[in-house]
Structures are given as structure tokens and as C-alpha cells.
Chain A
């Protein structure tokens, strides 16, 4: 890219209007600067720090002989009339991939009287007894034992399993349909059948769901007609005998239709869904599938029931692919790999969810190179890459690493003299030493105060003491669980209590607002939707929401002192706990943790009990939430993304790694610096951004460094640093006006009171009153600002700036080119870049203009505006 930039700079004097037209082409001429990046290779071709470290991509080869044949399941028990079980045949091919051979296998039974089996492996019971299922494939004979009992009587009918199963399988209780907050078309179902008792009531008795009342409203129109079962709306609508907004869900002669009809004919009982036969959890085979494009795998879904038995639910569940362009799944559970990439298949039944992780690889490698890891992060990441036949990039160069780690740990570019010093250092531990130096620098505290201010919601109404508390906590390396406890249980008028204050009004947040924020910040869970109704996409209920809110119910503000305290009534023997009213039931809610358990005692500061529960080592969410946030800082995205949206339906990309990080974090005593040190030292973090044939499509497995656009504040500070001209930040008039002291960095600002066109254009959140959201998209306004905005032009041309200083110091063109490269990109220019750029400076109308153009070109480049 550099030669294009040099070519462009040679053409341009960005101060002349006539050149503006040409400059307008810059986003096109400089690839990827403002458009979506197509080519992720951003770092110039530099030799890796240690060429021997560079992983070698393996040779791609064709399928080989099969081994490890298996018939799954190998043993099964069936109960009841018509009970059935699907079987699959798998084997491992010569490249280590597990392949599905069910359709190529031939099935037969040792006793045809007891059962029958189809060509695709579906066995159906006929009589009680035990038999063997045999599968012949490629000369191999595989067997499974099947035990059958109770065929003399029909399996007891259960609304929860049978009827709700029909709802789930046909998508009726999805969030976009009747499982939505208020249902749809006057018919309400619980989301994915999480509450079958309520579903039964809505189905059999009818009524309209009310958000703020537990009672159903009129009209009460039952969905079943016991006198004329076939006239039931429960059948007529999905079969499209009556108009149905959801379209036809099944045919009149389908199994689902018959199931519902039979149930209504029997009097629509709730049935035996109760004891013993309730589904406790779902299991799926395989949990993970690595496939080649064009291949198929069949999924086996098994319900584990309360009574310890299991049951095949494969044909009765709902399958959903997270990326149908990569992985397609049929209603019968057959997965088809379409193109390289990764996707998840969510499987829902009886209010339960299980997921299958699928990876589609381009082609398997015959010899996967040895990639030496440095710590457990690398083990987890590289194991996964090996499974996916993706070879990671080599180690990043020293200059790339220096720039990256300085930005990630301190938000600050290294100055030229430090770049020279680091590149010249021959100490084999210089990277580790650098990490330690940065972790103990004042800029580390500045930067992480900025980061925490974002998600801890520092606003101008609470900024001063709250931010000071954050800063001091980080400077002291206070254990994170202590920080959390101090914030959740804070009283008085110290720094952490300030987060109870709203930004606009300065008033105290309401209990549910406080709870929602704390749960989101510390557990990474968004409960807010459950305030008015059960969560529309997940299993959080309104009762859980208000139960945990109750911990905040007696927090009171003493206005005269601007202090907060818990106003517990009752006496010391019988303290009265927090008081919060459930909006639907209009009843006082007792405090309960998210897992439904109550605190052991009442009285005192109830939030201390909540903080104990939140930060307990056995609470998986707490540690995972913060390590995920920190991970996102270093890699641009979290292992769970969005970082504050932990839920079963949004699992981690690397669940084992997430838990390993969380466990290491817990063992370190919730030490944030330890966590960051561990990440920064890993080879995974230190990989280059180089592409190879196997990692080209990968964006989530950390096979190479992905470029990340600098956040608005970091970018502005970097521009100020490179140009040597500090930014003057005016303060909004509504807080009295003023100007932040000279030398104040953008990361130190409180956004609401320091308006800045540059920062807003580049995506700084305007307000942190709710969940802060940063906009990383490239926009036309950014392009215009780059071309004519004063941030670039004024700073570059300002007297006393870096350009002016270099010129007045009599630096040669070569020295100037090198100095600007070191300041902006933390590297020396290549010989070619140096030669061409010197020539371009010489060819400029004036030397100063040539140098200014060079500086502008560097600041406009993607190498500068991205961390890579």
C-alpha cells in the first residue's frame, strides 16, 4: 500500500483546492481505508521475529482409508407402544475427520418380531424383548443393543412433551410468533415452551395476556373444541383451514396434526407430563462437527428425563442454524456443509436448548505443523485451530508487537525514541519486559480508567469521585471482586456510590435500573427485557428480574449529604428486608438471587449479600464476564459477543478457553493485571496478521491478528501525539463552560460535557446514560473530516508541531521520513518507501508542503488508524 500512498502523495498538495477532487478519490485509491476491508493483510511484509516460529501450512490431500467405525447409540432402552430411536454410523477418515456413513450403511435386526428398522436407521419397537441392531458398512459390522419394554400400552400422554413439542417443532412458540411478549393474534405461549402449565391454560381456556397483571383479560376463547375436535382453532389455524398469519405449519395428514387431534379427542388433558417424564436436559450427537463443503451429518437429539430414562427426540425438535449460508439443517436434523466457515445449530425442545458447533473447512491438511504455545490460551486456541485444519499466522514483528501492545495496554503510541530502543534491544525477554513496563506505567491507569469509565458508566453528574475511585482501584491493582463488591454494595457518599446517580437529572436510579446495570456489568447478562415480561429471547423470567431487584429495594438517598444507605426497618431480631413490588402481581417481592435461592438472612445491607453471591468463585458468570471484556479489548471482539450478552442462546466461540481464563483469573485473586499479562504474553495475541491459505476466511478462531480501528479518543490522542500538537477541549456551557487544561487527553474526558466534532464523527458515545455503544463504522463524515477537517490539517501545519520542529532542526529528508514513520507506525520505512518518499518530498513545490503531505498521508493510512 505504501507505494500507492507515495504515488498519491506525489500527486497531491492537500492544501490546494484543485487537489480536493483528487483527494476525494483517496478512499478508493487507498484500499480499505474507508470501505469495508477486503484484504485483511495490513502489516507490510516484514520478516517475523523468529522465522523458525512461523507455522508452516500443511499440504492439502485427498480422503484416505476409514477407521474407528461406530454405531451410535450403542445401547438404548425403548419403552411404550411405537417407541423409536434413530441410529447413525460414523467413522474417522484418514485425515482425522469424522464422517457420517449412515446413508451408506445397511441395517438389519437380530429379531424382526421385536422391532423394525428403516434404511436410514430409524428403529421402531413392536414387542418387548432385547435385540441387536446390525449395521454393515465397508466390510465392517457394527452392533447396538436395544432393550424394549412396555409395548403393550401406549406411552402416557403429556401436554408438556407432546403438545408443546409440536409447538416448538413448528416454531409456534418462537419469539416472533406466539412466544413473543404478548403472544400473537390473541394467543400467547411461553417462549420455546419454558412454562407448559401456562401454555396449557392459554390453549384450553384462552384469554388475553396482560403485561401488568397476572390475570388474563377477556375474551376467553379456548383454542380447543372438545365437542368437535376437528373444529379446534389449534388445528384449523396451522393447517390453514382458517386464515393464519404464520402461514401453514403442518398438513392435515401430518403426524403433528394427528397428535393434536388425538389429544383433543381425549379431552385435552394436561396428562402425565408431570412426574418422571419431564425433560431435564437435551443431549446431542455430535456436539461438534468438522465437515467439508458438500458433506452431511445427521444429528441425534436425546432427552434425558427426570426419571433417569432417555428418549430420542431427533424428529421432534426445532433446528436452527446461526449461519444458513455456511451450514444448513433440515427439519429432520440433517446438517449440510455449504461453504468454509463456522456456525452453530440451536436445538430447542420442551423449553430446553442445546447447541452443536459446526466448522466447515476448506480442505483437510495431511500434515499439520507444530505450533509452539506459550500458555494455556495458546493450547486452547491452537487445539481448536488444529481441529479446524487452520494454520495460524507467524509471530508478529517486533514493531508490530510494540505498537499493538502499547495501544492495547495503555492506549498510547510509543514515541520514536522508544521504538528505536525496543527494536535495538537484543534481550530475548524484551517482549515480556515491555509488557511489565506497560502494566506498571501511569498510562496503563489512564487508559483502563477510560475503559472502565465506559462500561461502569461514568457520567458528568457522577464523574469526579466515581472516576477517582475507578482510577485509584486500578492504580492499586485492587482485586476485581473487591471492586465489584464495593460498587454493588456501596453506601455513603464515596466514589462507588456515585454510580447510583443518573446522568441527566442527577437523581438516584430506581431499584430495577440499578440492578439491571450491575447484572449487566458484572455478570454480562441483559435482564432488562424481563422487567415487564419474561425475557423474549431467553429463559430469564419476570420473577427472576424482580427477585434480584429486591436487593436494591431499600436503598435510600440522604439528599442533604448526597449519601446512600439501606433503610432497613424492623428491629435487629426481625429485620424487614427490601421492599419491591412485583408489577404484575402487585405483591411484595422477596429478594432472590438469579438462581432462585434466597439469601440466608435478611437485615443489614442486602446488597452485600448480593455482592457475595455475584463474586462467589462458583458463580461462573462473574469471572467469565470480565475476562471476556478484557479479551475483547485485546482482540477486538469477545469470546462472547456482544460482551454483555451471556445467555444459552449466545454461547462463547471458545467456551473451554473462556472458562480456563476465568478459572485462571479466579486463582490469581481476580487480578486484572495478571489477566492482561497472561493474554499479552500468549502467542495467540502476538500472532501477525498474515494470511495463509487456511486462515483466510477465519475471523473468530484467532488464527491471525485482525486489524481493529482505533477508538475515537485513542485516534485523536494518537494524532495529537504524532503531530506534537495537543488538543484543546472546550467544556459545554451547561456545566459552566471552560476549557480542559492544556495536555488533557481525549481518554480523560467526560463525553457529555466535552463536545468534539472529531470524537463524535469517529463514534464516541455521546452519553453513557444507558448501555454505551461505540460506532466503528466508516462514514462519509469521517472521509470529509480527513480531507478538510481541522484536526488533521491544523495540527500538521501548526507551528511548534513535529513537522515544524523537524524542519527547523535541519533534519534531512531521510531523517524526517524515518521520524514520522516511527512516530505514526512504530516502524522504520522500508528501503523502497524511504527512497520513493524522499524523492517525493524533493519534488514538492516546497519542502514544508512535501513533509506535511507525508505526515497527512501517514495519518490517513489504515496502518495508522488501525491497531493491527
Chain B
């Protein structure tokens, strides 16, 4: 007897629909992948520079370098914003399509109409002795305009190019003597560059690796040149030296103390032995204790720039003044900050002000109290009382260490909590902020839960389409997922007057170190202009045509005014025009509440630059500076730098051929 199972049929029906949906989704995804893979790279319309090798040179030196890119056949000059860094073009030649060394095909040119040809430019760079150490931008200039910038590192240490025999981890290599800089490149799969070091027992060195290649996941390994008992013919790798990262990063550093003297090998490689011509690096080996050069250099990772949410940004005692400088001070009676500034009786700490010449009479520059945590403060009962606004410093020195601070608020306050990690940033040290009420119940924290689009690869989609049972990590269907981040700034509203507790700790209960220092700024909310971003790294403007310049403006903490943009340094015949642009709707994004508390808002402005038909052509780029000014209640605030962009006026191809 055949039984009837309506529930099962219903489930089967759902299953059929789900299967169909899954099939269609997968088919679409695979199709889109296939199409995307078959799409040829678009023909460039302006010079493109992909890499420069070597990556840098020493002050006062002449360096012969190679640049590879596209539409470089007509380059005639090297240009830099640093006047002491000059260059001359020695040779331009087409290169093979295969980009990896040793895999060369026939020379390029325009043989394959779907692919843009590649050229290699040989140039000579002259570095004046007074060029400051750091990362500088180099551009190539041709009749078709200016290229994108290339990072070029100028050092004060001796610079050595990659040893020609540094092709693997072998004994008998030439010895290098720190401090020095080594320029190298991993262009063949499986390549490892090794350098021999002679050390005495107890020597400690810092190894810093810099590479501008976004996909270069570098590894650095140390070997003792003499082999082991079992494998005497192979250098033996030192334990605890195996360093590397799955994630690419511009700058890395390692430190190692050698317990035994002798000859060692330093081997630079990449994860899985992957290599590309642009896997160009600079390795600095120096006695330990001299800081991290690459990280601290201007222009590199963590460089000084207005930042709202970078953990490594600085929160100085005059942070409030900086913030007020990014808005328009109210006319007449100042809008009082919504946060009270009543000091807690008996609060420990010192008081820092904005300076005696800048009293806070208008309410825009209140006194900022500076506090140092004072152990024991590991429970609510031991919380250090602080007055607001406050800048609190401390460190999470041991796993499980938690610091508590107490503050008092009148009703209806809105506060901003900002956290800086001056020495070690997440994920090594991930500062967790929690605000508790006086009974210890959590009210706010800096963990931001949001919904967002995730990656679109088919395998991932298949995983997500599986029904997730209750799971805290991820739950979602399709390519939507909820995930969490730890924010360096949060805005919180306090409706009720009373005592509150700020709890600072590590995200985990397992990390702690004296370098896990934090600085927390608790301040009134100040509507202001946030981060300013200039899209694009150069403008090649053809006579008679327009190009757009896009500026993204952060609007923080409810800033409701406008932002005026202005340009400086435009060449003759080029005029700015106000432009508009419809922003495409975001499919799924953070909610308004989420933006208010954690992310802020942003706006985009478009300036159109028009070159007259008779605008003089520029042989070299001119530097165009972009400024922003907050505008509120019909008044303008202070000018804020947005950025600088090199611009060239060029002729059209027709004009070029006529001339």
C-alpha cells in the first residue's frame, strides 16, 4: 500500500524550489565569472606604470631603474613632487606578453588587438643628498599625459641590489653587513632570495620588508648555514624564525636575536612560492632597537592624515581643537555641547587645556582632563573617577586585565568614545570598550554588528546556502551575511542622569602586554567634517574636453552643513565647473542607526575641469591643490587640505598627429 505523506511532499516541494533557485544562482554566477574571465583588459587611455625596480635608492646616489607599464612608448620625462628627485629616460622598449621572467614570448607591440602592449622604460634617477628619507612618488610623463605614481623609497642606509646569486637557500653566498637596504624581486615561481649574514652570539637585528605589491604575501625565514645531522647539505632553518602572513601588507617587520654566532641566511620568499614581476621588495636589516622605519615614514601605512577611525591615529590633548577646526564655530551664543563637563570630585589625573591663549569661553574648546589609569582598577568598585571630556591612557598589560573608569552625566547627553592604540594595533591588541550603567549592566560597546554583502564566489555561496543552524558566527542565506567589527569610535546617547562605567579591555581574555597601550577620548559629540578623499591620482586633460574630479567628504556626528571645495594651481585655460553625479543605490548597506553610532555619513562632490581648445599644452605636470571648507549657517570655516593631484593639459591624438 502506498502511503501518502503530505508533509514530505511539502518539504520536497520547497526543496525543489530551493534547488531551482540554487541552480539558477549558481549558473548566473558561473556565467558571470566566465564572462569576467574572458573580458580582455581594457585598453588604457593614459600612461600606466605597474612597477619600478629597484624600489629605492640612497640619498646622494644615482640609480638606474626600470619601469614597466602600458602606453609608455612616448614617455619623455620623469617627474616627482620632490624636487631633489630627478630622472631621465634612457630607453623605452616593448616587452613580451608573458610577464613572469623566464616565460618570455615574442615581444609585444600591438600584435594582440585584445591586449594592450607593455613597455619597459629604463631611466636614471638622481637623488640629491638632501632628499628626505621616505616614500616619494615618481611619475612618467609623455605626450599622452602623466602616469600613475610609483612609490620610490629614499634611504640613508647603504642600498644593495639583490645579489645575483640569491636564487635559493644555499650556502656560500656573499655576506651582507647591516645596517643596509636590499632591493629584490621575486619574479619566478618558487624563487627565494637569500642573503648571508655573519653574526656574533647575542646580536639582534630588525628585518623590515616593504613592498608596494598588493598581492605579495611575503615570508622571511632564517637559516643557519651549516646543516643538521641528518641533512648536512642543507642550511637548517632556525626555529621561531618562520614568519609570514597570509594577508598581504605593505610593510612588515621581524626581530630576531641570535643565540649562536656564525653565518646565517636570510631568505625572502612568498606564500606558496608565488611570484610576479611586481613582487618587488626592499629589505632593511639593521641592529634592533632603531624603530620601524617603513611604518613610520610619511606617506606609508599609518602616515599622518586626518583619520576618524584608524586605531593608530593620534588623539592628542588638543583633539577637541582639531575637531572644532573641522566645523564652523557657532555665531553668537555657542551651541553648548550636549555633554556636561562637570568634574568628578576627587578625580585623579592632570588637567590639560588647549593653552592659555585659547580659553573655552565659547564652549567650543572645553577643558580636556587627562587621566592615566592607576592600578588597581580592575573592578567597578575600583573604577577611577574621571571628569568629562577626558583623555584616558592606560594599557592592558596582562591577559584578562580590565580597566574601569567612572563618570557622571546629566540626563540627555550624547558622548563620543574614541580609542587609539599608539603602539600595537588590532588584531594583536584589539581594545574593547564597554559602557555600563551603575549596576553593571552593559549599555554600549564598540562592537558593530552589521549586515553586508559578502564575497560572490560560487563555493562561498554554496556554503552559505546551506541551512545554518543557530550559530553566532554567521547566519545568512545567499550572499548576505551578518558580521561584526570592532570600531575605534562610537557615539552613544545617555538619556538618564547618573553614574556610568567605562570598561576597557582586550577583545579576548588571552592577550596582554605592556605595549598594549590605549588612549580613550570621551568627549561631547561635535558635528564636523570628517575624512576627505580625493579620487584619482592624476588628471590628463585633453584640450576641449572635461575630466571630473571627485571629492568624498565625511560628515561626522550629525554635521548638517555644506562643504565648499576650491582648487589652487590650475594651469591657464583650465576652468573648474560644478558637476553633479547620481550615486548608484547601495544594494544593502549599514542602517542609519549603524551609521550614526559607528560609521558616519559621507557625500560625494564632483568638480568638472574643462580645458579650452586653446589651452596651452603642459610639458610637465602642474600640482593642483584641492581645499575644503565647512559651511554652516551662511558662514565658512577653516580651509582644510583635501589633497594634491598632478594635472597635464594634453592634445588629442588628432592634434598630436597634426602637430
Give chain A's interface residues, CB within 8 Å of chain B.
406, 410, 412, 414-415, 417-418, 437-438, 441-443, 445, 463-465, 468, 471-472, 475-476, 489-494, 502, 504-508, 510-512, 553-567, 569, 571-573, 579-581, 583, 604-605, 608, 728, 730-731, 735-744, 753
Contact = CB atoms under 8 A, between A and B. Distances in A.
| Residue of B169, B272, B511 contacting most chain A CB atoms (<10 Å) | B272
Interface string B217-247: 0000000000011111110110110111110
A464 B271 contact: yes
A561 B426 contact: yes
Contacts of A735: 272
Given A445-B239, A562-B427, 8 more contacts: A475-B239, A505-B460, A510-B468, A556-B484, A565-B508, A580-B470, A605-B509, A731-B273
A565 B507 contact: yes
Contact of B228 (A442, A511, A753): A442
A572 B275 contact: no
A46 to B, nearest CB: 23
A472 B169 contact: no
Contact of B272 (A410, A414, A492, A736): A736
A491 B509 contact: yes
Contact of A505 (B215, B244, B459): B459
Interface stretch (B58-66, B318-326, B433-441, B606-614): B433-441
Chain B interface residue bracket vs A: 35 or more
A426 B511 CA distance: 52
A569 B440 CA distance: 12
A441 B228 contact: yes
Contact of A491 (B234, B270, B273, B510): B510
| Residue of B231, B237, B274, B469 contacting most chain A CB atoms (<10 Å) | B231
B117 interface: no
B471 A742 contact: no
A556 B472 contact: yes
Interface string B378-407: 001000000000000000000000000000
A741 B223 CA distance: 14
Nearest to A421: B229
18 contacts: A410-B230, A418-B229, A471-B239, A475-B240, A490-B510, A491-B510, A492-B510, A502-B463, A510-B468, A558-B447, A561-B507, A565-B508, A567-B472, A569-B442, A583-B469, A604-B509, A608-B509, A742-B190
A748 to B, nearest CB: 10
Given A558-B484, A753-B272, A740 B471 contact: no
Given A572-B440, A753-B272, A507 B474 contact: yes
Given A739-B273, A743-B234, A558 B471 contact: no
A507 B471 CA distance: 12
B110 to A, nearest CB: 27
A741 B269 contact: yes
B426 to A, nearest CB: 5
Nearest to B440: A571
Interface string B268-295: 0111111100000000000000000000
Nearest to B441: A571
| Residue of B189, B230, B233 contacting most chain A CB atoms (<10 Å) | B230
Interface string B405-420: 0000000000000000
Contacts of A492: 427, 430, 506-508, 510-511
Contacts of A572: 380, 440
Given A738-B273, A741-B190, A472 B230 contact: no
A579 B469 CA distance: 12
A563 B427 contact: yes
Given A558-B486, A741-B192, A415 B272 contact: no
Contacts of A418: 229-230
Nearest to B191: A741
B231 A412 contact: yes
A511 B470 CA distance: 9
A563 B507 contact: yes
A731 B215 CA distance: 16
A221 B236 CA distance: 73
Nearest to B217: A464
B168 interface: yes
B485 A553 contact: no
A472 B273 CA distance: 22
Contacts of B242: 468, 471-472
Interface in B446-460: 447, 459-460
B587 interface: no
Interface string B463-480: 110001111111000000
Contacts of B511: 491-492
B168 A741 contact: yes
Given A418-B229, A553-B472, A563-B508, A442 B440 contact: no
B192 A491 contact: no
B444 interface: no
B483 interface: yes
A580 B483 CA distance: 19
B464 to A, nearest CB: 8
A469 to B, nearest CB: 11
A511 B506 CA distance: 23
Nearest to A505: B463
A558 B274 contact: no
Contacts of A490: 510
A572 B437 CA distance: 12
A736 B215 contact: yes
B85 to A, nearest CB: 34
Contacts of B228: 441-443
A580 B472 CA distance: 9
B474 to A, nearest CB: 6
Contacts of A468: 242-244
Nearest to A474: B239
B469 A510 contact: yes
B189 A738 contact: yes
Contacts of B244: 464, 468
A511 B471 contact: yes
Nearest to B485: A560
A604 B509 CA distance: 8
B436 A571 contact: yes
A740 B190 contact: yes
Nearest to A556: B472
A203 to B, nearest CB: 23
A634 B239 CA distance: 25
A328 to B, nearest CB: 43
Nearest to A410: B230
A504 to B, nearest CB: 6
A640 B386 CA distance: 62
A625 to B, nearest CB: 24
B463 A507 contact: yes
Contacts of A565: 507-508
Contacts of B273: 731, 738-741, 744
Contact of A415 (B231, B427, B442, B485): B231
Nearest to B219: A464
B189 A739 contact: yes
A442 B190 contact: no
A568 to B, nearest CB: 10
A465 B217 CA distance: 13
| Residue of B190, B243, B436, B441 contacting most chain A CB atoms (<10 Å) | B190
A577 to B, nearest CB: 13
B427 A561 contact: yes
A465 B271 CA distance: 12
Contacts of B380: 572
Nearest to B238: A442
B440 A573 contact: yes
Contact of A441 (B229, B269, B486, B509): B229
A737 B269 CA distance: 14
A465 B246 contact: yes
A397 B362 CA distance: 93
Given A507-B474, A563-B430, A406 B230 contact: yes
| Residue of A437, A504, A510, A744 contacting most chain B CB atoms (<10 Å) | A510
Contacts of A512: 469
